[in-house]
Amino acid sequence: MRRVAVLGSTGSIGRNTLDVIASHPDELQLIGIAARSRVDLLAQQLAQFAPAVVSVWEEEKARELSRLTGRSQILVGPEGLMALATDPRVDVVVVATSGHDALIPLIRAIQAGKRIALASKELLVMAGELIMRLVKEHGTSLVPIDSEHAALFQCLQGVDPSHIERLVITGSGGALWMKTPAALQTVTRDEVLAHPKWQMGRKITVDSATLMNKGLEVIEARWLFGVPLERIRIVIHPEAAIHALIELVDGTIMAQMSPCDMRLPIQYALSFPTRWANALPRLSLTQMKSLRFFEPDLTRFPCLRLALQAARAGGSACVVLNGANDVAVHAYLDDQIAFLDIPTIIEETLEQHTPAASLTLDEVLSVDAWARRTAQERILQWSTR
Ligand SMILES: NC(=O)c1ccc[n+]([C@@H]2O[C@H](COP(=O)([O-])OP(=O)(O)OC[C@H]3O[C@@H](n4cnc5c(N)ncnc54)[C@H](OP(=O)(O)O)[C@@H]3O)[C@@H](O)[C@H]2O)c1
């Protein structure tokens, strides 16, 4: 029996994780859940799973949850998230929060020897070098949930690192892959949020439309698998049947295929190194009409160009990229800027920064705060023009 804590239980990944837990009562037990503010959903999850621990981000939300459920013991804020991530009853911590609030709880969970199932790619983009070093030092494991990285992780099992020529991350192309540059100027929010293949939270859906998501994934893969950037490739694959491939030195290519259902990589992250049977949808090979692959377009999708530039520049540039992108995407979702302003905000923030390598946790947090402040100031200048 694996005892699980889910940070971000009310989100898209969090809800899918609880579904996996409900489908495997003999293998998994939910010990605790945490969310920011959706207390109505948290109350339902408490009623269904009766976990021992629950945490919310703000005092007011804790009072609301207490009124709804009659619970008196509710953890709050960063301390609450940290206490859940390091709770002695927990074996596996699923990190599925949006934003950067779970960075320190993730680090403390690793230091406490917890096994990690990681969805929150932004945390690896910010502090991948540090996180992977701690995983090694504390002799624990970190299994990715992100579908492309789960695919790479599976393809790489049993493969000698010296036999790897290249990692290939696929992407469906997001909602706007077929749009012309002129059409991108007038794209609506509904079009941006209409991902053709995956049902996800709003921030990652915008990142998929700008292709920033693929850039973040390259940085994520670099730290997870210790493969240099020049040997990680992106291809656009609109059918999204193959989630990643590895190319070996003898010319062999191994690919991972599965339906677009996040419960599969979540289940694998929780079951690894074994596999459990399930009743999830299957991929039908005979119903697949074609498998197409394209080079990504860095001109129509400048966010991807910026992400690859930041990845090459190293350490702190990735922190700035991530912080500025997070602020810009939320400003877009809040109607403060237009879709094509997102890369401009990121680029202008990156231009004001001098990259440094190998950051400490304090340095990561300080660069992240600077990037968010700088991007926010730029947005405010625009909105008050
Ligand atoms: N969705 C996918 O299919 C997918 C695939 C690959 C990777 N990912 C990654 O997984 C992460 C989550 O994505 P998502 O799509 O599930 O996002 P989402 O639907 O927006 O959910 C985010 C979750 O994080 C919680 N949260 C945010 N700040 C928090 C805080 N300070 N303390 C506790 N909980 C907090 C939210 O709580 P409230 O609901 O209360 O606000 C919610 O439960 C992202 O890093 C994303 O890139 C997602």
pLDDT beyond 90 at 240: yes
The confidence score (pLDDT) of residue 357 equals: 86
Ligand 1 in contact with 87 (CB < 6 A)?
no
Ligand 1 in contact with 198 (CB < 6 A)?
yes
pLDDT beyond 90 at 175: no
For ligand 1, atom 15, which residue shows the shortest CA distance?
201
Q: What is the pTM of this model?
A: 0.96
Ligand 1 in contact with 151 (CB < 6 A)?
no
The confidence score (pLDDT) of residue 382 equals: 75
Domain boundaries, the chain: 2-144, 297-385
Distance of CA 163 from the midpoint of ligand 1 (Å): 35
Ligand 1 in contact with 96 (CB < 6 A)?
yes
* Averaged pLDDT, 346-366: 93
Dump pLDDT digits (tens) for 177-194.
999 999 999 999 999 999
Distance of CA 251 from the midpoint of ligand 1 (Å): 38
What phi and psi values does residue 158 have, to the nearest 5 degrees?
80, 5
Ligand 1 in contact with 205 (CB < 6 A)?
no
Task: Give the whole-angstrom CA distance, residue 370 versus residue 385.
Answer: 23
- For residue 59, what are its two tokens? 């005092």
Task: Give the whole-angstrom CA distance, residue 182 versus residue 300.
Answer: 10
The confidence score (pLDDT) of residue 384 equals: 66
Distance of CA 220 from the midpoint of ligand 1 (Å): 17
Pick the CATH number of 2-144 from 3.40.50.880, 3.40.605.10, 3.40.50.720, 3.30.420.10: 3.40.50.720
The confidence score (pLDDT) of residue 95 equals: 98
* Cα of 198 vs its chain's centroid, Å: 13
- For residue 115, what are its two tokens? 């096994």
Distance of CA 296 from the midpoint of ligand 1 (Å): 26
Taking Cα atoms as reference points, which of 274, 17, 268 lies closest to residue 152? 268
- For residue 179, what are its two tokens? 């749009």
**CATH 3.20.20.70, domain 297-385, yes or no:** no
251: number of Cβ within 10 Å: 7
Q: What is the mean pLDDT of the chain?
A: 96
HSE-CB at 58 with a 13 A cutoff on CA atoms is 7
197: number of Cβ within 10 Å: 18
The reply to whether domains 2-144 and 297-385 share a CATH topology is no
